[in-house]
Amino acid sequence: MPELRTSNVVVFVPSAIRAPTIWIGDTQPVVISLADFLSVDAIGLVVDHQFLETAIAPGTRSTHKSATTAFPTPTGTTWEQVELVVDDHRVRVRVGDVSRTFGFAEAGFEDRRKGSVPDDTWQLLKTLAQFNGVLGTGDNLTTKSDELKQKVSELRKRLRVLLRIDADPFAPPRKGRPYRSLFTIRSADGVTFDTPTHANWEDITITETKPGVIEVSVANETVGIVRGMKDEGKGEWEATTATGEQNRRFRLDQLGTQESERESLVAVLRANGRVVRDATDPGMLTLGKALTKFFQLTDPPFGFDPNRRLWTAKFEAISFASGSDR
């Protein structure tokens, strides 16, 4: 339809925004996913007018260059099978045994106005990598500002073009909750867990869900306000606290640990946090340092009883590995 190729057209799609190559010629319409600004509450359909106005406002068209090449994604690949490793100027994409590294410009994240420098969406991708695929926990992004919604919407487009996967790369967003990527993403500088402020080892649970995979859970106390009732019947705002959890799954090889450290961690989890080893055991010593760095805590994760040569985890250690896997 020639009418769709004029500069003043807005095209709405249900969810997936296809690659720009489907449009013929240099002029492309503004394409907006309904999922980005429509939601449903107890009353009915809710429209995020501010996001919509920002998306179609004059001068808000993307200023990035499209990816110069796409990843050779195998047919049938889902976002859950994708892994991204991001450093300052490159992203390594891996799907199964297929792997390729792209520079930011090759991946479509070059600032077209400045040239030879990454744009704001690349910075968002780096932030997402630093927080292991979660935006909104500990980084003041939970509120989902209109600017953040617009940037995440743009990041969706870039990733779909690069990977040639039409599905949404993020889990369905919920109001007041962080964005979560369906793909695995981490920083090349190493994976860390965004441990809540004031949390300690007693708040942490590490579970071996299956061989080679662990789940990390950290209790997180949140503060809110509710309107209470006084004896006189008048309501006043009162502070409340609630305990929630942050949960993330990791492959053991994602943690940047050595084989001896991974073996020691598995041994700890399968022994419910208590293992008998020498005080100078290299696997336990280096595992303690690795966990301290991973959780960004200062005190050691293990206590040691020299009389019994017993290492005891300060966190809760669990394993669901079957007997045949042990």
Q: How does DSSP assign 246-296, residue by residue?
A: EEEEEEGGGGT--HHHHHHHHHHHHTTTEEE--TT-HHHHHHHHHHHHHHT
Confidence check: pLDDT of 136 > 70: no
**233 lies in some domain:** no
**238 lies in some domain:** no
Our count of domains for the chain comes to 2
90-117 residue pLDDT tens: 999 999 989 999 999 889 998 877 777 8
Tokens at 303, concatenated: 């206590």
Tokens at 92, concatenated: 């390594």
Residues 213 and 176 in one domain: no
Residues 168 and 272 in one domain: no
Q: What pLDDT, on a 0 to 100 scale, did the predictor assign at position 283?
A: 93
Q: What pLDDT, on a 0 to 100 scale, did the predictor assign at position 70?
A: 84
Which one, of 179, 180, 161, 199, lies nearest residue 64 by Cα? Answer: 161
Q: Which residue is listed with tokens 């809710």? A: 46
Question: Which residue type occupies 160?
Answer: R
Q: What pLDDT, on a 0 to 100 scale, did the predictor assign at position 140?
A: 42
- Domain containing 110 equals 2-187
Residues 180 and 121 in one domain: yes
Confidence check: pLDDT of 224 > 60: no
Read off the DSSP letter of residue 182. S
Name the pairing type of β-strands 30-33 and 38-40: unpaired
**15 lies in some domain:** yes
Read off the DSSP letter of residue 216. E
**273 lies in some domain:** yes
Residues 164 and 274 in one domain: no
117-135 residue pLDDT tens: 888 899 899 888 877 788 7
Residues 29 and 164 in one domain: yes
Query: What is the rounded average pLDDT for all residues in the chain?
Result: 80
What is the phi/psi pair of residue 284, to 5°?
-70, -40
Confidence check: pLDDT of 158 > 80: yes
Residues 82 and 210 in one domain: no
**97 lies in some domain:** yes
Confidence check: pLDDT of 234 > 60: no
Confidence check: pLDDT of 61 > 60: no
